[in-house]
Structure 1
Amino acid sequence: MSTPSFSSTSVHSSTPASQSEIDATYRKVTIRLIPFLVFLFILAWIDRVNIGFAKLQMLQDLHFSEAVYGLGAGIFFIGYFLFEVPSNLLLEKIGARATLARITILWGLTSMAMIFVHSATSFYILRFLLGAFEAGFFPGVVLYLTYWFPSGRRARINGLFMTSFAIAGIIGNPIAGLIMKATADLGGLANWEWLFLFEGLPSVIAGFVVLAYLPKKPDDAKWLTESERAIVQSETAKDAADPAKRSALKDAFNARVWLCAAIYFCLVAGNATIAFWTPSIIKALGVQGNLTIGLVAAIPFIAGTIAMVWAGAHSDRTGERRLHCVVASIVATAGLIGTGYLLDQPHLALIALTVAAIGILAAFPVFWALPSAFLTGTAAAGGIALINSIGNLAGFVAPYTIGWLKDTTGKLSAGLYFVGVLELGAAVLILAFIRVKR
């Protein structure tokens, strides 16, 4: 996407905008966009991972094995992988508003349709469709934010947006526990069926709100003044004007993009683990009752939220990307391996799981500042989607492998060790091959 060249001036004045005016404009943009985008992704994340809480009763009702659950949880990412790049390229053509509305409505309807699951086959089909319909949302938002925020501000903004992962864990697990506790034997449906209904409906409603609320690009933001629009256009135009940051569509498929995809695969393995398996891990520690499990499961995500915001802000302030991501990945490795080793010591295992969540979640906002440092325009649309779609295949590999290893060994620890090694792989790849700072 080519961006018009503007100077940092008001439309009616040749006086350059001061730093305080630029900061004030970006505070306004942040307040207007980020909470709403966070809300949408919280809905997406809850509808994606509520299967982890439904599992506590669903497997018994439907006589599914741990491997069947792991495959169903993970097959979401196959649909996600297949439809991610086309969805993001379509966003570049038709705009964020129409794309995000379509995605949100369809994933909500599919989540609600999970009440019709009665066999492994129907479980796999609906999980695949959920992934296909949600495909493009996350990289679409990452791309959308590049229309508003220059590269020097993106790690912090990505961190604020990606708090949705953690916030969804904080509020999603207790809400899921409350729904399942309150709807046991209600109206002829199982409590996990009510869970899918109650958590899918808000997404359908939110999809229609997107059409009324979200502007396509800064030019369409009526809540910005002309001078504020000029500031945003000027700041983002600097990236397009920087020869080091120009990129064509072919750059979406270069070696650096594939390397970033491999690193992201390792990071996502950890995220999928805490998303799909935290309720089961908490239950394995001896915690009883759906609501209690939900409340305890929120603890790692609270710590992860704080770490995510801090890491993004600190990375922007220092301009350093590599070591922030490396340290977070190593912390994640230690936490996951520690959780597996300490499963028979509940309090220590919960501390280790919290450490794992801190490392896993802190890595994400800093990571996404790496590809956006060398991709712009159409290459950013394709490259970000490619990285996300390939990386998210770990969301298939990790849950299925953990389920298979649990069925094979009877223990969760083997799967946690496996994912811990993948997190360490991310640190090794970054140290060995990544040289981008901003």
Structure 2
Amino acid sequence: MNPSRPAYAATHADTHVDESQSSLYTKVAWRLVPLLFFCYVAAYLDRVNVGFAKLQMLKDLHFSETVYGLGAGIFFIGYFLFEVPSNIILHKVGARLWIARVMLTWAVISGCMMFVRTPTMFYTLRFLLGLAEAGLFPGVILYLTYWFPSERRGKIIALFMTGIPISGVLGGPLSGWILHSMSGAKGLAGWQWLFLLEAIPSLVLGVVVILKLDKGIEQAKWLSDAEKRTLSANIATDASATTSHTFKDGFTRPMVWVLSAIYLFFIMGLYGVGFWLPTLIKGSGVKDPLTIGMLTTLPYAAAAISMILVGRSSDARRERRWHVAVPGVIGTVGWVVAVVAGSGNVTLAMIGLTIATMGVMTTLCQFWCLPTAILAGAAAATGVAVVNSVGNLAGFVSPYVIGWIIDRTHSTDLGVYTLAACLTMGALLVLALPKQLVNR
């Protein structure tokens, strides 16, 4: 006689299911994300520590800013060439073996950077480093789609990608201390110690990946059979909502190439931070490498907080476009503040650089909710790699162009304005995407 009772029971049951699944996904996140996070911290540190090495390396080796910019950027040519093949191999052989291979290879090459003596050696090792590291980031993004449905990926991807700012929080003071304290030890320059010591974490983590990372849900011994069924059913349901599943789809869908263009604009901003932040801080009047290293922690720490908060908001609202575009515009404002108000003023420069870093990194982590909402299965393996590899060509263009501009104008201003314009273009293109396609 009471028609409300069944409705109440259904609501109560739904609430119980939601709580149970939230608990399960928390369990999965704690198992997977910390290890992947530390792998990315090590990867990003080995990729951009050349920005700190530059503070001593250029003088010791008599390199110009253009030589540095080309060497910093040529990493991404190797990265571009091997990105898609690397992700296809990962999809076939599994994350455990392939991610471990990636990490062990780049650790050795990164350590060998200490032997650089000529521009040719610099270019060669940076190219090989890109070749070795190709596949880690898109591979992890792909791997997370095996575990988390699209509506839960905003926060998870944000947590993983906080590895970028945390590598700055940890790596900035560490790099500054090595340059400050280790110069001349055992006959080696500070920048040589920098490359040698910062390669060690990648070696250790590569071994840990082999021992701890599961290939997928079915291989996870720490899950019960019921938990495996729940996770697999959610992934299957999520995949059924997409229309692209084959390797070919990841190459041929026009939207993949639109996303690649957007990501290219955003990456211009990212490597403005990664490769030039120490130089920009130095240009504001700070000279000691240790102090520069300590100051770089501020923008990166603020970015880590911003990434997590915006990721939670994006998942809660099931809205992706504005959560990508708005931080991009904020990053643009930060770059302009850093140039207009920050020249010679450390406080204003740090405010501008902090805002820029928050905007750039938050935009990037939320961007990866877009392609994974459109692509699934084999299409995700190729599509994510295509987007990442094409976008990362900006990692070649950005440092080279900015280095060339600095050599010609003896100022970073025009280069930074270029980064700001790229962020704005990327944000506008995101807002042009159909919201029904990406808001999942």
Following the alignment from structure 1 to structure 2, what is the Cα–Cα distance between the partners of residues 245 and 17?
31
Q: 1:16 to 1:298 in 2, by over 3 A?
A: closer
Structure 1 residue 379: Cα displacement: 0.3
1:106 matched residue in structure 2: 105
Report matched runs for 1:218-257 at 5 Å: 218-242=217-241, 244-253=242-251, 254-257=253-256
Following the alignment from structure 1 to structure 2, what is the Cα–Cα distance between the partners of residues 371 and 434?
13
Following the alignment from structure 2 to structure 1, what is the Cα–Cα distance between the partners of residues 182 and 87?
38
Q: What are the superposed Cα offsets for residues 148-181 of structure 1, whole Å, 9 maximum, x if unpaired?
A: 0000000110000000011001111111111122
Is the CA contact 2:281–2:349 (under 8 Å) kept in the aligned structure 1?
no
Following the alignment from structure 2 to structure 1, what is the Cα–Cα distance between the partners of residues 364 and 422?
15
1:210 matched residue in structure 2: 209
Is the CA contact 2:74–2:123 (under 8 Å) kept in the aligned structure 1?
yes
**Superposition RMSD on alpha carbons, in Å?**
1.3
Q: Per the alignment, in what secondary structure is the counterpart of residue 370 of structure 1?
A: helix
2:362 matched residue in structure 1: 362
1:337 is matched by which residue type in structure 2?
V
Following the alignment from structure 1 to structure 2, what is the Cα–Cα distance between the partners of residues 246 and 26?
25
Q: Per the alignment, in what secondary structure is the counterpart of residue 117 of structure 2?
A: coil
2:69 is matched by which residue type in structure 1?
G
Q: 1:16 to 1:241 in 2, by over 3 A?
A: farther
Of stretches 83-92 and 342-351 in structure 1, the one that deviates more from structure 2 is 342-351
Is the CA contact 1:335–1:356 (under 8 Å) kept in the aligned structure 2?
yes
Q: What are the superposed Cα offsets for residues 252-305 of structure 1, whole Å, 9 maximum, x if unpaired?
A: 121100000000001111111101111111111111211111000111111111
Q: What are the superposed Cα offsets for residues 225-254 of structure 1, whole Å, 9 maximum, x if unpaired?
A: 111111111111111222x44432222121
Q: Per the alignment, in what secondary structure is the counterpart of residue 286 of structure 1?
A: coil
1:277 matched residue in structure 2: 276
Is the CA contact 2:172–2:293 (under 8 Å) kept in the aligned structure 1?
yes
Report matched runs for 1:5-404 at 5 Å: 18-242=17-241, 244-253=242-251, 254-342=253-341, 343-404=343-404
* 1:405 aligns to 2:405 (yes or no): yes
Q: Per the alignment, in what secondary structure is the counterpart of residue 418 of structure 2?
A: helix
Q: Per the alignment, in what secondary structure is the counterpart of residue 296 of structure 2?
A: helix
Is the CA contact 1:17–1:231 (under 8 Å) kept in the aligned structure 2?
no
Following the alignment from structure 2 to structure 1, what is the Cα–Cα distance between the partners of residues 57 and 176?
13
1:391 is matched by which residue type in structure 2?
G
The alignment's TM-score, normalised by the length of structure 1, stands at: 0.95
Q: 1:16 to 1:238 in 2, by over 3 A?
A: farther
Following the alignment from structure 1 to structure 2, what is the Cα–Cα distance between the partners of residues 165 and 113?
23
1:3 matched residue in structure 2: none
Q: Per the alignment, in what secondary structure is the counterpart of residue 369 of structure 2?
A: coil
Following the alignment from structure 1 to structure 2, what is the Cα–Cα distance between the partners of residues 369 and 380?
12
Report matched runs for 1:423-434 at 5 Å: 423-434=423-434
Following the alignment from structure 1 to structure 2, what is the Cα–Cα distance between the partners of residues 282 and 30?
36
Is the CA contact 1:335–1:354 (under 8 Å) kept in the aligned structure 2?
yes
Following the alignment from structure 1 to structure 2, what is the Cα–Cα distance between the partners of residues 431 and 369?
14
Following the alignment from structure 1 to structure 2, what is the Cα–Cα distance between the partners of residues 414 and 341?
11
Structure 1 residue 351: Cα displacement: 0.4
Following the alignment from structure 1 to structure 2, what is the Cα–Cα distance between the partners of residues 389 and 73?
16
Following the alignment from structure 1 to structure 2, what is the Cα–Cα distance between the partners of residues 83 and 249?
16
Of stretches 55-64 and 279-288 in structure 1, the one that deviates more from structure 2 is 279-288
Following the alignment from structure 1 to structure 2, what is the Cα–Cα distance between the partners of residues 351 and 339?
7
2:369 is matched by which residue type in structure 1?
A
Structure 1 residue 17: Cα displacement: 7.7
* 1:437 aligns to 2:439 (yes or no): yes
Identity of aligned residues (%): 47
1:178 is matched by which residue type in structure 2?
W
Structure 1 residue 404: Cα displacement: 0.5
1:12 matched residue in structure 2: none
Q: 1:434 to 1:81 in 2, by over 3 A?
A: farther
Structure 1 residue 338: Cα displacement: 1.9
Is the CA contact 2:244–2:379 (under 8 Å) kept in the aligned structure 1?
no
Is the CA contact 1:177–1:291 (under 8 Å) kept in the aligned structure 2?
yes
Is the CA contact 2:244–2:250 (under 8 Å) kept in the aligned structure 1?
no
Following the alignment from structure 1 to structure 2, what is the Cα–Cα distance between the partners of residues 234 and 145?
15
1:248 is matched by which residue type in structure 2?
T
1:118 is matched by which residue type in structure 2?
R
Q: What are the superposed Cα offsets for residues 199-228 of structure 1, whole Å, 9 maximum, x if unpaired?
A: 012211211111110000011111111111
Of stretches 385-394 and 16-25 in structure 1, the one that deviates more from structure 2 is 16-25
Of stretches 335-344 and 135-144 in structure 1, the one that deviates more from structure 2 is 335-344
2:182 is matched by which residue type in structure 1?
T
Following the alignment from structure 1 to structure 2, what is the Cα–Cα distance between the partners of residues 384 and 182?
41
Is the CA contact 2:285–2:344 (under 8 Å) kept in the aligned structure 1?
no
Following the alignment from structure 2 to structure 1, what is the Cα–Cα distance between the partners of residues 243 and 213?
27
Following the alignment from structure 1 to structure 2, what is the Cα–Cα distance between the partners of residues 431 and 218?
35
Following the alignment from structure 2 to structure 1, what is the Cα–Cα distance between the partners of residues 432 and 139?
29
